[in-house]
Structure 1
Amino acid sequence: MSESKKMAGGMTPTNRAILIAAALLLVAAIGYAIWRDSADSAPKKSVEATAPPGDQLAALEARTRADPGSAEAWMQLGAARFDMGEFAGAVTAYEKATALSSDSAGLWSALGEARVMASERDPMPAAALAAFDKAIALDAKDPRARYFLAVKKDVGGDHKGAIEDWFALLADTPQGAPWEADLRRTIEQVGAIHKIDVAMRLQNTQARPLTANEMPVAARAIPGPTRADMEAASQLPKGQQDAMIEGMVSGLEAKLKANPKDVDRWVMLMRSRMTLGETAKAAQALKDGIAANPAAAGRLKAQGQLLGVPGA
């Protein structure tokens, strides 16, 4: 069957499974683009980020009306709509953003992703491919565009070519990146479906070390007790050591009780619990953080995966 006929016939169960995996993987890839693009500036909080989902969306829409020339405003609206499953609306917002900031690979690949997810029949619409090609032209390393261009090969029947491209992406993936596990799972699943042996290669292909600019919020942008802090505490007498560590974590928990909408502090609490080896409490922090911030569930889970939190 030709590629065009496969496309016209709609999504097969295999194609749909790959795209569902892509949706999960690329939530994290959005985070990668944000980390890289904002590496030279401190994370910014907004009123919209702490509002309930409906209010958040309304606030972002109001911002685009007040400042229609802001690519950042349209980008944030596109991301919010995408997170809420409003893919067609996300496409519209990202199209506005790319028109205003045409040199951002991350915006183009986000537009391509939204176009893929908005498509009800064609698993890889031409408009999405055009956006991914634009992203790659601007940044040949853009992980989201690379992932989806490999999906196109798989959908078109070039399963080995797709797996080769995913392996190349895996080799370029920063160690511990939240999408690494999903990328490995995609390679494994496509290999199994098409009887391509990938087990040994998966075992031997390791993600590369993170650079400082790529270091995500869980490890770089959010202050709080680090492993170095814990090592310093270990040099104190036992009583002082316990008091210091407990004081750090108790302080975090107190602040979260006062303001459970502070997503950054939930990440800090998860990191602190994992540093202390309290994995069950880290998992509970993830659960509580999501309960308090359902709109940030994707981000919290991605950070939890990066930190190794059980159940993330």
Structure 2
Amino acid sequence: MVIWIILLLMTAAAVMAVLWPLSRHCARAAQQADPDTHFYREQIAEIERDRERGVLLPSEAEAAKAEAGRRLLRATGMTAADASAAVGEPALRRRRAASTLALSVIPIIALAVYGAYGSPHLLTHPQEQQAQVPGDKMDLMAAVSQIEAHLAQNPQDGRGWEVVAPVYIRMGRIDDAVKAYGSAVRYLGPSADRLANYGEVMVLAKDGLVSSEAQKVFEQAVQLDKTSPKARYYLAVAAEQDGQIEKAKQAYGELLSSSPEGAPWVNVVRQRLASLGDEPPVAEQGDAPQIGAADIARMVSGLAERLETQGGSPEEWARLIRSYAVLGQRDKAVAAAQLARQALAQNDAGLKTIDAMARELKLTDAGP
């Protein structure tokens, strides 16, 4: 409501700025219509100066002043008449038209410009509601900044690194989360849970690929706790990606049989087994629909078809190779690496990218 009052006052001020000069035009015209009035006033002043100097007798001076006064009055009357005549009916109509135009067009233009470039919707909600959502984010950012400042001064505070690592994951800062979990393991010492979390974020950083470095971390976690479900799950995924399907099935089955009923990872393990053709997935009622293995396979197939027919960048070829490895299709990953080398034969940097991906995925039979 306040914004509209302000707009109304601004519009009224703009209209008055246009109408005020029009209303003063007649007065200025009356004052400037005949320059003789200035001459007669100067003549009267000159007569008064002559009387003071004794050039004119007092009676002569009074007579001269009276005559000059009569001429001044006559000239002033003629000026007003002339001004009134000059500002006749046509001029009056023009002033009225200008006034009407100012009263109608200026508010319309003001509203149109405000609607196009203004923000009338900003005050439709209370300020508390507007600040509620960004306020939570600001609190999180402030907390992270404080922790980071503390860790910059105390880099050996392993507990601080372990606290901020999951926050980095929530914020999408996966690389920072990897460094944070690594520092937590370094300064707090290895434990099964800590190593499992460290390995998991390494997998996230590789878009779902269990690298050889991450696999070593999970193996160390299992050595500390043979029942660690997260470490055992990712070791099974690593076996699947390496093409060791039977080993992966056995690892998934053992994890499923030793898991308590209703464990959060049970459905995921069943889906992985189903993708290997071992047993159909069992999903809890009310779960949101998820993308199945068939859908992922179709997307990967589409990418492969486009790259084979149209070509692509080294990063796209690397993504295809990694996708085949994640799906456990090792033979297709090797074939994709070979096709990528043929397509990028003139691109030295691209060949280095493909070679690095093959080494990371341990595709030894896909060498150049």
TM-score by length of 1: 0.43
| Greater Rg by CA | 2
> Could you say which structure has the greater relative contact order, defined with CA pairs below 8 angstroms and 6 or more residues apart?
1
